[in-house]
Chain A
Amino acid sequence: MASTPDEQQPSKEVTGSTKASDAKAESDREDARLLSAFKSGDAKAFERLLRKHRRPVFNFCYRMLRDRSAAEDAFQEVFLRVVRSAPKWEESAKVTTWIYTIARNHCIDATRRAKYRRTTSLDQTFKGPKDGEGPSLQERLRDEAVVPPDRGAESVRMRPLILEAIGLLSEEQHEVFVMREYAGLPFREIAQVVGVSENTIKSRMRYALEHLRKYLAAHGIDGSVIRDGEDEEEGSRS
């Protein structure tokens, strides 16, 4: 198994899990305070709340809708709904859960209305850096497959592939993946937003990761790691 010691120790996040949960709890309390203050007529409190959540909410909308202008419309609509519905918000509910429930519902509606395509054809061309048409995904994959797995350059080349792979996720896996990776919601809150159990959410996330791994491995991306894992898995099975 060709792996470095730090790769074998993927538990860097685990050691700080308690601190992270404390920080999350404090963040939730601050959100509640800000929204309560806004309900009491404090516009500054809402401004702080907006500044805190604008980026993750916008990225969530963008990843869900995959269109910047649609995402900006959705972002604006989500926060306007927050403004309108603030009097109905109860302190027992988490602000982030509440906001992302609004955002998810809006994105689902917008997707249905606009019939955004959830999958991308392999023949679809990508826009180049100057809005010119670039190579198709098939061509890019073919080209990228021969590129040596240099990590720095690799990530730049990987980006469109990753996006494509994410775009091929099922709707259920996609929303879980986006909420976790782009909005930073913990699985418990994702479960509340989506309305299923936490284990179901974790399972969907695991399948999403597996899908991405297989997609990239199928195109020879970073084979040193991914194929290594597959080889070892196959070896253990044998």
Chain B
Amino acid sequence: MIDPADDPRLTSYLYGELDDTDASVFEAELAGQDALSARVRAYQRVLEWVREEPALDPAPELDALILAAARKKISDEVQDRATAEVRWWSRWAAGLRRFVASPMYGWVAVGAVAVAVLVVTLPMVEHETPMVGPEILEGEARRDEAPRITNAMPPPSDSPTTTSPPSGMGASRGQIARGGGGGRSPERVDSFDSLDSVDGIGRRDLAKAKPSPERQASAEPPPLKSASKPPSNKTFEVPFEAREAREAREVREVREEAVAAAAAAPVGELASADDEGGPRADREALAGLGAGGGGLEGGRSNGSRPTEAELRRAPARRRSAPVMDKSRGEADLKTLGARAGAASGAASGAASGAAPGAAPGAAPGAAPAPAPAPALTEAPSKKEAKAIDEAERVERAARTMLEAVDREVGAKNFDGARRILRRARANTQGYAAYGRVMYRWARLEFSQNRDLDALDYAKIAATTPGFEGRRAAFELVERIATKLDRSEEVAWARRNLRALPNGRAH
């Protein structure tokens, strides 16, 4: 017995939403209940009346307004997509505008002007006041032990790394004061302090001061704030500008030499870490690496394999490429030039025949260099900072592209993912990012059972120096080659896996 007030089938039946079986059952029940049948008929009549109400249409102009809004939305999105690639520039410009508009900008500008004034005026002051006097002689004697080029400009900032010059380098101002003994007479402390504040000790004051053995023994050196200064006018035998130009020229020559060596290296040599039976990366792929990629292997004209430690160091060097510290000797200069060459994708060996970080004693005319690597100035130059920014931008771009690939793969849009990877391969600069792109591509193709393509891409990734996932790439090569029953490539992958640090034992 159906209670018409409670049975939900009644409504479904009225609206034809019961399937045929349920409808038959319900009709059979209806047939035995006249009251329910009458209720159903009454509902149907009510619904008929309701449905006789004509449907209304909205005003046509509303459609036009809505469609115009839709078209505008589409055009806005198209514009957004078109400007997405230059949006980073807009953000940067907006950030700059905000900074310029902020009150901090004024202070920074004032500070920059003050520093610039100091940088320009200090050497002039020193030129005007050459140090003479017996109190300098001891310092001069010490300076003679140092590399000859020690009269460089003071570094622009008070970097702590330059506060204690290594032994054998030019005599510091503190040493001068100690050696001369007359650095700080009690009656002149105030004037010296004021001079110290601008990173200089008054030469005239030093010259006037008498050497005093007692003070020499007891006086503590003033805290150093910058690299050593030339203690005597002998260091000005070569005009400073000429020396700086020479140094710059030498560095440029070293870099050009190294870049030329890198350019002359065969592509296969660049791509492959192991040539014995290993694959050759295609030239097109490697062309996408870009000149900015730091390469160790590119400059290995002797064909020797780099160690894994060297491979790992390469990107780090690129980021923290040292700037020239002009307080060092020519040997240091050579070493720095070599390192700069390595950082710009050149071979370190091509620069001076010495490995990076090697003792610079071989440099002509240089005094014996300190055994440990000197503490280099870490503050990057403008050019180096630009290179670092560029590297970070490349890194971000690669990461964004890989995230986009993941999204496309998640949406099962594999062709879209391939398009992005193709673009990434063409645009990516730097070995690490390139390796990541190729490894991702290999995984994609492998998941799509395109094993031959996957194998090629995995090989490229595995042999990309600087790519941190080489182990995984080699493992992928091994896996794909095993699937394809390619014993040579399996063996090659296993050999390389063993050669890698913490390699697997087979």
Give the distance in Å from the alpha carbon of A59 to the alpha carbon of B50 in the complex: 13
Distance of A199 Cα from B6 Cα, bound (Å): 10
Is B15's CB under 8 angstroms from A187's CB? yes
Tell me the minimal C-beta distance from A17 to chain B in angstroms. Answer: 5
Q: Taking A14-B16, A15-B20, A210-B5 as contacts, is the C-beta distance between A233 and B39 under 8 angstroms?
A: yes
CB-CB contacts of B52-90 with A at 8 A, as 1s and 0s? 110111110011011101110110011000000000000
B101 sits at the interface (CB 8 A): no
Instruction: Answer whether residue B472 sits at the interface, using C-beta atoms and an 8 A cutoff.
Output: no
Chain B residue nearest in CB terms to A56 = B55
A68 to B56, CA, bound (A): 10
Cβ-neighbour of B58 out of A12, A14, A58, A155 (below 8 A): A58
Decide: A180 and B66 in contact? CB cutoff 8 A.
no
Contact B19 A225 (CB under 8 A): no
Number of A-B pairs, beta carbon distance below 8 Å = 173
A229–B41 touching, CB < 8 Å = yes
B78 adjacent to A41 (CB under 8 Å) = yes
Task: Answer yes or no: B13 CB below 8 A from chain A CBs.
Answer: yes
Interface residues of B in 23-39 (CB under 8 A from A): 23, 27, 33-35, 37-39
A-facing mask of B404-444, CB < 8 A → 1, else 0? 00000000000000000000000000000000000000000
Does the CB pair A187–B11 fall under 8 Å?
Answer: yes
For the complex, what is the distance from the CA of A155 to the CA of B49, rounded to whole Å? 6
Of B23, B58, B59, the residue contacting A17 (CB under 8 A) is: B23
- CB-CB under 8 A for A80 and B66, given A41-B77, A55-B55, A225-B41: yes
How many Å lie between the Cα of A87 and that of B70 in the bound state? 12
User: How many interface residues does A have (CB within 8 Å)?
Assistant: 74
**CA distance in complex: A228, B63 (Å):** 47
A59 with B56: CB separation less than 8 A: yes
Taken together as a complex, chains A and B put the C-alpha atoms of A15 and B62 apart, in Å, by 39
For B37, list chain A residues within 8 Å (CB): 1, 3, 8, 232
Q: Report B25 CB to chain A, min CB distance, Å.
A: 11
Nearest-CB distance from A185 to chain B (Å)?
11
Instruction: Using C-beta atoms within 8 Å of the partner chain, give the interface range for chain B.
Output: 35 or more
Q: Is residue B14 within 8 Å, beta carbon to beta carbon, of the partner chain?
A: yes
Contacts of B45 in A (CB 8 A): 222, 225-226
Task: List CB contacts (< 8 Å) of B311-361 with chain A.
Answer: none
* Cβ contact within 8 Å between A43 and B70: yes
Q: In whole angstroms, what is the CA distance A162 to B23 when docked? A: 28
Q: Given the complex, which residues of B lie within 8 Å of A199, measured CB to CB? A: 8
A219 CB, min distance to chain B CBs, angstroms:
13
Q: How far is the CA of A162 from the CA of B14 in the complex (A)?
A: 18
Q: Would B57 and A54 count as touching, CB distance under 8 A? A: yes
Residue of A14, A55, A209, A213 with most partner-chain B CB within 10 A:
A14
Distance between B228 CB and nearest chain A CB, rounded to angstroms: 63
Residue of chain A at shortest CB distance from B81: A41
Q: Report if A159 contacts B (CB, 8 A).
A: yes
Which residues from A are CB-within-8-Å of B99?
A: none
> Contact at B62–A72, with CB atoms within 8 Å?
yes
B51 within 8 Å of A by Cβ?
A: yes
Q: Which residues of A contact B10 (CB under 8 A)?
A: 206
Tell me, yes or no, whether B194 is within 8 Å of chain A by CB: no
Report yes or no: B55 in contact with A13, Cβ–Cβ below 8 A.
Answer: no
- Check A162–B17 contact: CB distance below 8 A: no
> Is the C-beta of B209 less than 8 angstroms from some C-beta in chain A?
no
* B46/A14 in contact, CB under 8 A: no
Inter-subunit contact B16/A58 (CB<8 Å): no
Partner of B16, one of A3, A17, A209: A17
Pick the residue among A162, A206, A217 that contacts B11 (CB under 8 A): A206
A42 to B15, CA, bound (A): 36
- Interchain CA distance A43-B70 in the complex, whole Å: 7
A196 surroundings in chain B (CB, below 8 A)? none
Is there an interface contact between A76 and B34, defined as CB atoms closer than 8 Å?
no
**Given the interface contacts A1-B34, A213-B43, A226-B42, does A72 sit within 8 Å of B20 by beta carbon?**
no
Given contacts A187-B11, A202-B8, A237-B35, contact A13 B50 (CB under 8 A): no
Mark each residue of chain A from 47 to 67: 1 if its CB lies under 8 Å from any CB of chain B, else 0. Answer: 100110011101100100000
Query: For residue A226, which residues in chain B have a CB less than 8 angstroms away from its CB?
Result: 42, 45
- A209 CA to B34 CA, complexed, in Å: 19
Tell me whether A75 and B62 are in contact (CB under 8 A): yes
Contacts of B62 on A, CB cut-off 8 Å? Answer: 72, 75-76
| The residue from A38, A80, A203, A236 contacting B8, defined by CB atoms under 8 A apart | A203
For residue B50, give the distance in angstroms from its CB to the closest CB of chain A.
Answer: 6
Q: How far is the CB of B65 from chain A (nearest CB, A)?
A: 6
Does B44 make an interface contact (CB < 8 A)? yes
Known contacts A43-B67, A229-B35; decide if A10 and B41 are in contact (CB<8 Å): yes
Q: In whole angstroms, how far apart are the Cα atoms of A228 and B16 in the complex?
A: 24
Q: Does B291 contact A (CB under 8 A)?
A: no
* Closest chain B CB from A207 CB (angstroms): 8
Distance in Å: Cβ of B43 to nearest Cβ of chain A: 5
Interface pair A50/B63, CB less than 8 Å apart: yes
Q: Does B116 contact A (CB under 8 A)?
A: no
How many Å from the CB of A223 to the closest CB on chain B? 11
Residue A158 interfacial (CB < 8 Å): yes
Complex CA distance for A87 and B6, rounded to whole angstroms: 42
B47 close to A (CB within 8 Å): yes
Partner of A80, one of B49, B69, B74: B69
**Is A32 part of the binding interface, using a Cβ–Cβ cutoff of 8 Å?**
no
- CB-CB under 8 A from A158, the residues of chain B are 49, 52
* Contact yes or no, B65 A13, CB < 8 A: no
User: Separation in Å of the B105 CB from the closest CB of chain A?
Assistant: 38
9 nearest A-B residue pairs (beta carbon): A13-B16, A229-B38, A233-B35, A236-B35, A14-B23, A202-B11, A229-B42, A58-B58, A232-B38
Please list the residues of chain B having a beta carbon within 8 angstroms of any beta carbon in chain A. 5-6, 8, 10-20, 23, 27, 33-35, 37-47, 49-53, 55-59, 62-63, 65-67, 69-71, 73-74, 77-78
29 A-B pairs whose Cβ atoms sit less than 8 Å apart in the complex: A7-B44, A8-B41, A12-B16, A14-B16, A17-B19, A20-B16, A41-B78, A50-B70, A56-B55, A58-B58, A62-B56, A72-B58, A76-B58, A76-B65, A80-B66, A83-B70, A181-B51, A187-B15, A202-B12, A203-B6, A203-B8, A206-B8, A210-B43, A226-B45, A229-B42, A230-B42, A233-B38, A235-B34, A236-B33
